[in-house]
Structure 1
Amino acid sequence: MSNRPPNVFVLGLDEANLPALRAVPGTDRMNLHPLLSATELQSGEVHVPDLIDRACTVLDGFEGSIDAIVGYWDFPASTLVSLLSERYGTRATSLESVVKCEHKYWSRLVQQEVVTEHPRFGRVDLTAENPSPPDGVRFPMWLKPALSYSSELAYGVGDMTEFREAVDAIKAGIHRVGRPFEYILDQLDLPPEMADVGGQVCLAEETLNGVQVAVEGYAHDGEITVYGVLDSINYPDSTSFLRHQYPSALPEPVQQRLRSVAERVMRHIGWSEATFSIEFFHDPATDRTAILEINPRHSQSHAELFTYVDGAANHHSMLALALGRDPALPRRKGPYTLAAKWYYRWFTDGVVHRVPSDEEIARIEREIPGVRIDLVPDEPQHLSDSGHQDSYSYEVAHIFTGGDSEEELREKYDRCVAALSLGLDTPAETPS
């Protein structure tokens, strides 16, 4: 076997993830190459054939070996990994298995074949003169496109008035991701239950209650391994994330049930040689557990958390699987007992008029050990123009903290928020 460093092409390689990738053991003996930018993959209504052509131009023009093609973003990056890997002979799970995760309606159909841990769901006919909830799906419910970014166009509704308002909003924006996704569906031999569904379909699901939790894992050599369980805590009286925290505080029997459901579903989907993440709800009052959604990739949002607690980012498993190596992560070898990713948000639109410089952020990170800060908006900018926000809030900064208690995590977060001194004006305060 050659001792040359393998060439790994990373779809959407971005500055925020580069430090975590570089910190993965062994990446100093890899050549990491960017393949399409995050902006190309996520801005506007993407054109999948054009993205494939641009990626192939880069790969065909590369003079060395193409040893791996990887990605940690949702559609279209997730599907491009499978399409390009098949074309260039690199390791990846099948395109069909990716789409069975990513198309929310197909995913529900597949889930109900092997588990009961899912909400009641159905399709909403957006072409009807007066769209109505599916039979058997009761209020309160969530309406969402079959495919979206970061909960974009996902609405919680409690009555028919809110239902109709959400339908109108989804109808107006569903084409941005749904139309390009139909190109991917055309590449597959779809089963009869999916033959007429398409990519621009709206899903209704009964609202799940309890605490939200994420499970991360991978498939390797025919085995499904879950390597991490993380809690997702919302802002009070809100559906928007306040923080992800690792490891989970749920009782071990509950975590084991989550692992079991994940293993059964991913095996049934045909997942192979790739990472995944599944979001669940667990209701302590009823002891009910249910799948919220399945993501056909690990969460890049959690990379720093695994580094803080386990000693290596979850990017390690992605890279190792693509290169045919051992994907196992170290366990509890990091410097901290707990870690969190905090979402500093505004719940009304505003204009950013002062953003700390890179030097100021680096100073804060030096003064507060065990923190990293990523700012979302640029200066000056309306928060509503920053893209990929959920339907109810605006992300201003992502703040990663490591510590040995929840109190320490919160104290570091509060210090970071105060030190950032972000300059924001609400629309009412903004000159017209």
Structure 2
Amino acid sequence: MNTAPRSPEKKNIFVIGLDEGNEEVLRRVPGAERYLFHPLLSIEELQHGEIRIVELMEKAQAVLDAFDGSIDAIVGYWDFPASTMVAMLCEKYGLPGVSLEAVLKCEHKYWSRLEQSKVIDEVPAFGIVDLDDESPRPPEGVGYPMWLKPVKSFSSELAFRVADEAEFDKAVVEIREGVGRVGDPFDLVLGKVRLPTEVADVGGAACLAESELSGVQAATEGYVHNGRITVYGALDSINYDGSPCFERHQYPSQLPDDTIRRMKEVSVRVMERIGFDNATFSIEFFCHPESGQVCLLEINPRHSQSHAELFEYVDGSSNHQLMVRLALGEDPGERRRGGDYRIAGKWYFRRFEDGFVTRVPTRAEIATLREEIPGVKIEVVAKEGIRLSELPEQDSYSYELAHLYVAAQTEREMKAKYRRCVEALRFEFEEG
């Protein structure tokens, strides 16, 4: 008689928008031998072109209903529509997850500001710009310079800094033309929850104006499990000189302890107000280290996949681990730093002018560079044979050529490694 214990069955985890880079990270999380990761829709289906949210939900449900096995978790680490689809699908299939209403209170920038303002003072002046008006004007109390942005977008798409009336009018024209791509399907999802009157009146394809924030950019990451909020990390977000575009994110934050503590306090307060539970989150801030003052920029109802390797380099496990355990109904537990490096950054190698791409670094060149410089990972974004302006999900001011993940023992060493990589990466362009 065979008395050997049976090995436990692996958990089937469906990942919305599973991509190659993040799949590699997921397969390295502690306990990954217990999991089977299944792709559910592609990034192209989720983010490129028109977002057909009804068709996407139907396609996802068809895949899940046809699956011959247990559906143990549904997860995602992308912005809309993935973030809302995770909530809706978890509810439909009776799985642990955050409520759709809580996700929308984070995702809808105006609704989020209304909720934040009820519990914190650390928000800018804000209001709605009426895009249906023949001659829209800034809302009362919001002066120049300000930022105009759709109440729902991603990757800083259609976000504009405007310093005067002429720039305001130009930005309004562009937002009017493009706001529907994300705003119209977002409206369909908003229709699934009971909205406050002021949110229902503006809908999902509206324009938000906010006073410009200043200071040093930073972020917190955390999760909520059975109502208990844990903020486990703070990161710095550093821009290119004289530009609103990110140069890098780095972990852990190099800001003073008082500033980090204040960001964590604000994070807990707003997530309690929103009623967020059983999921990860990330919150972006502007900080003034001299005074300790912080101001909340925006809340993301998911952790940042951009930070996954940074946590892995420094802590020994990525933030994806927390997402997976929460989705399985498990307590993520305490995190301890056990990685090989003391600091890590995700760098955005950018070009600030359009051009036709005639050459990108080869796989062999990248492999050689990684052998020469330990603690480096390189993802090429630009594609040979297209114009940079044809790349999807770019911000309003630049074009991403590559993402570089660089880990080191000091910030100085990390910067030196990055410079060596950039000097070795051969991109070529035709102008005009």
TM range (shorter): over 0.9
Give the counterpart of 2:100 among 84, 95, 100.
95
Task: Give distance in 2, aligned partners of 1:80 and 1:37.
Answer: 13
Amino acid aligned to 1:81: V
Give the counterpart of 2:383 among 372, 378, 395.
378
Give the counterpart of 2:54 among 45, 49, 52.
49
Q: Residues 229 and 247 of structure 1 are in contact (CA less than 8 Å); yes or no, is this contact kept in structure 2? A: yes
Q: Residues 256 and 289 of structure 2 are in contact (CA less than 8 Å); yes or no, is this contact kept in structure 1? A: no
Matches for 1:118-157 after TM superposition, within 5 Å: 118-157=123-162
Per-residue deviation, 1:2: 8.6
Residue 172 of structure 1 aligns with which residue? 177
Task: Give distance in 1, aligned partners of 2:336 and 2:249.
Answer: 18
Q: Residues 214 and 277 of structure 1 are in contact (CA less than 8 Å); yes or no, is this contact kept in structure 2? A: yes
Judge which range, 115-124 or 326-335, deviates more: 326-335
Which segments of 5 or more consecutive residues in structure 1 lack a partner in the other structure?
428-432
Per-residue deviation, 1:326: 2.7
Residue 330 of structure 1 aligns with which residue? 335
Q: Residues 25 and 318 of structure 2 are in contact (CA less than 8 Å); yes or no, is this contact kept in structure 1? A: yes
Give the counterpart of 1:357 among 336, 358, 362.
362
Amino acid aligned to 2:284: E
Per-residue deviation, 1:72: 0.1
1:3 matches 2:11: no
Give the counterpart of 1:163 among 168, 176, 196.
168
Residue 395 of structure 1 aligns with which residue? 400
Residue 83 of structure 2 aligns with which residue? 78
Q: Residues 225 and 278 of structure 2 are in contact (CA less than 8 Å); yes or no, is this contact kept in structure 1? A: yes
Q: Residues 179 and 199 of structure 1 are in contact (CA less than 8 Å); yes or no, is this contact kept in structure 2? A: yes
Matches for 1:100-119 after TM superposition, within 5 Å: 100-119=105-124
Amino acid aligned to 2:172: V
Which segments of 5 or more consecutive residues in structure 2 lack a partner in the other structure?
1-5
Task: Give distance in 2, aligned partners of 1:285 and 1:352.
Answer: 43
Judge which range, 348-357 or 315-324, deviates more: 348-357
1:283-315 alpha-carbon deviations (Å, 9 max, x no partner):
235543111110010000000100110000100
Residue 430 of structure 1 aligns with which residue? none
Q: Residues 258 and 292 of structure 2 are in contact (CA less than 8 Å); yes or no, is this contact kept in structure 1? A: no
| Other structure's SS at 1:196 match | helix
Task: Give distance in 2, aligned partners of 1:286 and 1:237.
Answer: 23
Judge which range, 19-28 or 115-124, deviates more: 19-28
User: Which runs of at least 4 in structure 1 moved beyond 3 Å after TM superposition?
Assistant: 284-287
Per-residue deviation, 1:324: 1.6
Residue 414 of structure 1 aligns with which residue? 419
Amino acid aligned to 1:23: R
Instruction: Name the TM-score, length of structure 2 as normaliser.
Output: 0.97
Task: Give distance in 1, aligned partners of 2:319 and 2:289.
Answer: 28
Amino acid aligned to 1:33: H
Task: Give distance in 2, aligned partners of 1:294 and 1:385.
Answer: 28
Amino acid aligned to 2:17: G
Task: Give distance in 2, aligned partners of 1:284 and 1:334.
Answer: 27
Amino acid aligned to 2:423: A
Task: Give distance in 2, aligned partners of 1:209 and 1:185.
Answer: 31
Judge which range, 2-11 or 208-217, deviates more: 2-11
Q: Do the aligned partners of residues 406 and 426 (structure 1) sit closer, same or farther apart at CA in structure 2, a change above 3 Å counting?
A: farther
Matches for 1:10-25 after TM superposition, within 5 Å: 10-25=15-30
Q: Residues 343 and 411 of structure 2 are in contact (CA less than 8 Å); yes or no, is this contact kept in structure 1? A: yes
Amino acid aligned to 1:172: E
Residue 64 of structure 2 aligns with which residue? 59
Per-residue deviation, 1:358: 2.1
Per-residue deviation, 1:357: 2.4
Judge which range, 171-180 or 408-417, deviates more: 408-417
Amino acid aligned to 2:241: P
Per-residue deviation, 1:421: 1.2
1:314 matches 2:319: yes
1:267 matches 2:267: no
1:213 matches 2:210: no
Amino acid aligned to 1:246: Y
The alignment covers a number of residue pairs equal to 427
| Other structure's SS at 2:20 match | coil
Task: Give distance in 1, aligned partners of 2:422 and 2:330.
Answer: 40
Amino acid aligned to 2:111: W
1:251 matches 2:256: yes
Task: Give distance in 2, aligned partners of 1:285 and 1:250.
Answer: 10
1:7-54 alpha-carbon deviations (Å, 9 max, x no partner):
000000001212211111111220000000011000112111100010
Q: Residues 215 and 277 of structure 1 are in contact (CA less than 8 Å); yes or no, is this contact kept in structure 2? A: yes
Task: Give distance in 1, aligned partners of 2:426 and 2:359.
Answer: 8
CA RMSD across the alignment? 1.2
Amino acid aligned to 2:80: F
Give the counterpart of 1:30 among 35, 42, 48.
35
Q: Residues 316 and 329 of structure 1 are in contact (CA less than 8 Å); yes or no, is this contact kept in structure 2? A: no
Task: Give distance in 1, aligned partners of 2:175 and 2:154.
Answer: 13
Task: Give distance in 1, aligned partners of 2:52 and 2:344.
Answer: 38
Per-residue deviation, 1:330: 3.2
Per-residue deviation, 1:195: 2.1
Q: Residues 348 and 404 of structure 2 are in contact (CA less than 8 Å); yes or no, is this contact kept in structure 1? A: yes
Q: Residues 100 and 107 of structure 1 are in contact (CA less than 8 Å); yes or no, is this contact kept in structure 2? A: yes
Q: Residues 79 and 98 of structure 1 are in contact (CA less than 8 Å); yes or no, is this contact kept in structure 2? A: yes
Per-residue deviation, 1:418: 1.7
1:227-276 alpha-carbon deviations (Å, 9 max, x no partner):
11000010000000001011101111111110010001001101111000
Percentage of identical aligned residues: 56
Residue 304 of structure 1 aligns with which residue? 309
Q: Residues 317 and 329 of structure 1 are in contact (CA less than 8 Å); yes or no, is this contact kept in structure 2? A: no
Q: Residues 311 and 330 of structure 1 are in contact (CA less than 8 Å); yes or no, is this contact kept in structure 2? A: no
Per-residue deviation, 1:402: 0.4
Task: Give distance in 2, aligned partners of 1:389 and 1:426.
Answer: 19
